[in-house]
């Protein structure tokens, strides 16, 4: 009940601020708190039908994401953001409750150019980690499910800490930014941060602060600006009482164009950021894997076809999984879309499909 009241209250505040901004009288400037505010939303609404594991089936409507994004410009170089996230509780006494929790709550501090580093800035608070949000600007089908490294439970997209991000060597021309406006550094972009380690929905269990980074290079920015080579890495201890080892090294190549997008990535790691991937003696297990993704845009129809394949090998063959996703999407306003896809997941140990379901999903973004 409390979470429902909190949700209604948050939505009420957003509506009040919006209508106050639109219809207030000439004295509105006296109320400094409602100046320079930007409000947006991001929702994933999904219908699933099929087999979710070897013994049960699913036939339900679900809310996978419900963001309310509020930005406040505090000065020319300071911006605050807070993002409540609506989710459904899948365990414990609150099973089935629609809950409201924070996904982001941070201060952006913009800096002057630092030589080759252009438009650098810090995020401080509950912030983006370097990799997942970045990848989601290339693979824009997060509505279907999480990205590869998050899906195999190495880490998630946000955490308590500080992140530094910068373009490398200025910005690309506006012509290419019609293809992708995300991180348009002429020679690429860079991000590094230090975090609690457990993610935005976990408390700090130990005192270790893992370091995570991302480097994206655009070597042919004039002839092939859509071609990039990426590295992401992490080093520290997993967020548990035993503090097992946690490191990750991953590489990805991506290509974006008006007609199609492609990515291919490979990783090897030991443990994970949660400290949960360990053997009976508490020693972090090794893992490795790869993922390929592509989408093709049908001209003049606002339609895309997309597919993805994930392979994960845990503890040198102890557990091997395969996931294949394929579907089609219709894009109707900005980055909003409706899609239908099929998701097939199996484990090599059993040979049988552990899950296979159809999904109809709507992503609303404004």
Q: What's the pLDDT tens digit per position in 131-151?
A: 999 999 999 999 999 999 999
pLDDT at residue number 16: 43
Among 84-93, 96-105, 225-234, 301-310, the least confident range:
84-93
Q: How far apart are CA 264 and CA 289, in angstroms?
A: 11
Q: What's the mean per-residue pLDDT of the chain?
A: 88
More confident residue, 63 or 325: 325
pLDDT at residue number 55: 64
Q: What's the pLDDT tens digit per position in 157-204?
A: 999 999 999 999 989 887 777 778 889 999 999 999 999 999 998 889
Query: Binning pLDDT at 50, 70 and 90, where does residue 345 land?
Result: very high
* Averaged pLDDT, 195-224: 93
pLDDT at residue number 178: 74
Residue 332 has pLDDT above 50, yes or no: yes
Residue 344 has pLDDT above 90, yes or no: yes
pLDDT at residue number 96: 66
pLDDT at residue number 57: 81
Residue 23 has pLDDT above 50, yes or no: no
Q: What's the pLDDT tens digit per position in 61-120?
A: 988 888 999 999 999 999 999 999 887 766 666 666 777 889 999 999 999 999 999 999
Q: Is 129 exposed, middle or buried (0-12, 13-18, 19+ CB in 10 A)?
A: buried
Domain boundaries, the chain: 2-365
Query: Residues of the chain with pLDDT > 70: what percent?
Result: 86
pLDDT at residue number 11: 45
Query: Binning pLDDT at 50, 70 and 90, where does residue 362 land?
Result: very high
pLDDT at residue number 181: 80
Give per-residue burial for 282-308: e unless 16+ CB within 10 Å, then b.
eebbbbbbbbebbbebeeeeeebebeb
CA distances from 300 to 125, 258, 303, 305, 362 (A): 42, 12, 8, 14, 21
Highest mean pLDDT among 46-60, 96-110, 149-163, 340-354: 149-163
pLDDT at residue number 93: 67
Query: Residues of the chain with pLDDT > 90: what percent?
Result: 70
Among 104-108, 221-225, 305-309, 332-336, the least confident range:
332-336
Phi, psi of 26 (to 5 degrees): -70, -15
Phi, psi of 307 (to 5 degrees): -155, 155
Q: Which two tokens stand for residue 266?
A: 């490979």
Which class would CATH give 2-365?
A: mainly beta
Closest CA to 18 of 34, 42, 1, 41: 34
* Averaged pLDDT, 46-64: 84
Number of H helices and E strands in the chain, helices first, is 4, 16
Q: How far apart are CA 306 and CA 326, in angstroms?
A: 6
């Amino acid at each position: 009940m409390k979470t429902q009241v909190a949700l209604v209250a948050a939505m009420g505040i957003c509506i009040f601020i919006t209508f106050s901004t639109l219809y207030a009288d000439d004295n509105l400037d006296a109320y400094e708190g409602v100046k320079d505010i930007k409000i947006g939303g991001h929702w994933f609404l999904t219908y699933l039908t099929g087999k979710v594991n070897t013994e049960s089936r699913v036939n339900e409507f679900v809310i996978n994401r419900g963001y309310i994004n509020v930005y406040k410009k505090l000065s020319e170089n300071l911006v605050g953001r807070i993002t409540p996230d609506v989710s459904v509780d899948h365990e414990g006494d609150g099973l089935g409750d629609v809950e409201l929790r924070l996904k982001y709550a941070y201060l952006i501090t913009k800096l002057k150019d630092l030589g080759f580093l252009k438009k650098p800035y810090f995020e401080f608070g509950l912030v983006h980690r370097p990799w997942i949000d970045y990848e989601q600007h290339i693979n824009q089908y997060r509505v279907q499910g999480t990205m590869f490294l998050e899906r195999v439970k190495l880490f998630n997209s946000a955490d308590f800490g500080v992140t530094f991000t910068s373009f490398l060597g200025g910005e690309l021309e506006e012509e290419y930014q019609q293809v992708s406006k995300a991180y348009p550094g002429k020679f690429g972009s860079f991000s590094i941060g230090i975090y609690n380690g457990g993610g935005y929905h976990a408390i700090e269990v130990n005192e270790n602060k893992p370091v995570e980074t991302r480097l994206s290079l655009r070597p042919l920015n004039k002839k092939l600006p859509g071609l990039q080579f990426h590295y992401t890495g992490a080093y520290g201890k997993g967020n548990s009482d035993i503090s097992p080892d946690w490191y990750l090294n991953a590489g990805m190549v991506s290509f974006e164009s008006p007609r199609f997008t492609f990515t291919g990535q490979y990783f090897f790691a030991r443990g994970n950021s949660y400290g949960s991937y360990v053997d009976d003696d508490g020693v972090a297990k090794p893992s490795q894997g790869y993922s390929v993704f592509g989408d093709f845009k049908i001209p003049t129809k606002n339609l895309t076809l997309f597919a993805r394949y994930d392979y994960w090998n845990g503890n040198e063959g102890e557990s091997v999984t395969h996931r294949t996703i394929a579907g089609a999407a219709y894009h109707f306003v900005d980055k909003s879309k409706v899609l239908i896809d099929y998701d097939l997941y199996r484990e090599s140990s059993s040979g049988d499909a552990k899950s296979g379901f159809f999904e109809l999903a709507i992503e609303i973004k404004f």
